[in-house]
Amino acid sequence: MAFLSKKKRKPGPSKNEEKVQRARVAEAQAEAAGTLSSRFPTLRALRLRLAFKGAQGQLLHEKEISLRPGDALRIGADCPGACGSGTFDFSPAVSEALGRGQDSGVAELSCAQQIYGNPNACGCQGRCEFTAERA
């Protein structure tokens, strides 16, 4: 007869509680970011083109987004590279350019997240091209 012991629960929140907490944090960030019209009242729309390239230069993902005045000014994406947990946040660079009165521009970021079991960073490159329509 085998000895069976009770399953020991890990200390801390469950997976579901962690998921709910992440959703709350994301919602709070969206509220803190403000809407496009509250930050830049003269803008009618903001068109974005996001492109992500791997460490060797291959295109991993590409998408276009259009923000209207009532949309939250959050411009970010998860890293599609090998790290699996990196993020890109283009919001500060785009907000700064719009604040200076630029109607178009480019923001580029590199994923610095380490790949599991490898001391090197992911190296995925993110590029955000934006065009603003002013009233």
Assign residue 122 the CATH number of its domain: 3.10.50
What is the model's pLDDT at position 1?
65
Does residue 57 have a pLDDT over 80? Answer: yes
Taking residues 37-55, what's their average pLDDT?
90
- 3-class SS at 14? coil
Q: Would you mind telling me the total number of residues written for the chain in this entry?
A: 135
Q: At 110, is the secondary structure helix, strand, or coil?
A: strand
Residue of 5 and 69 predicted with greater confidence: 69
Rounded to the nearest integer, the mean pLDDT of the chain is: 86
Number of domains in the chain: 1
For residue 17, the number of C-alpha atoms closer than 13 Å in the C-beta half-sphere is 4
User: For residue 55, with 0-12 CB atoms within 10 Å meaning exposed, 13-18 middle and 19 or more buried, which class applies?
Assistant: middle
Query: Contact, 26 vs 117, CB < 8 A?
Result: no
In terms of pTM, does the model score above 0.75? no
Contact assessment for residue 121 and residue 112, using Cβ atoms and an 8 Å cutoff: yes
Helix or strand holding residue 25 (H, E): helix 15-33
Residue 74 lies in a domain: yes
Is residue 17 situated within a structural domain? no
What is the domain range of residue 99?
34-134
Query: Which amino acid, 9?
Result: R
- Domain assignment present for residue 111? The answer is yes
Q: Please indicate, yes or no, if residue 21 is contained in any of the structural domains.
A: no
Quick check: is 24 in a domain? no
Please list, in sequence order, all residues whose beta carbon lies within 8 angstroms of the beta carbon of residue 2, skipping any fewer than 6 positions away: none
pLDDT band at 49 (very low <50, low <70, confident <90, very high): very high
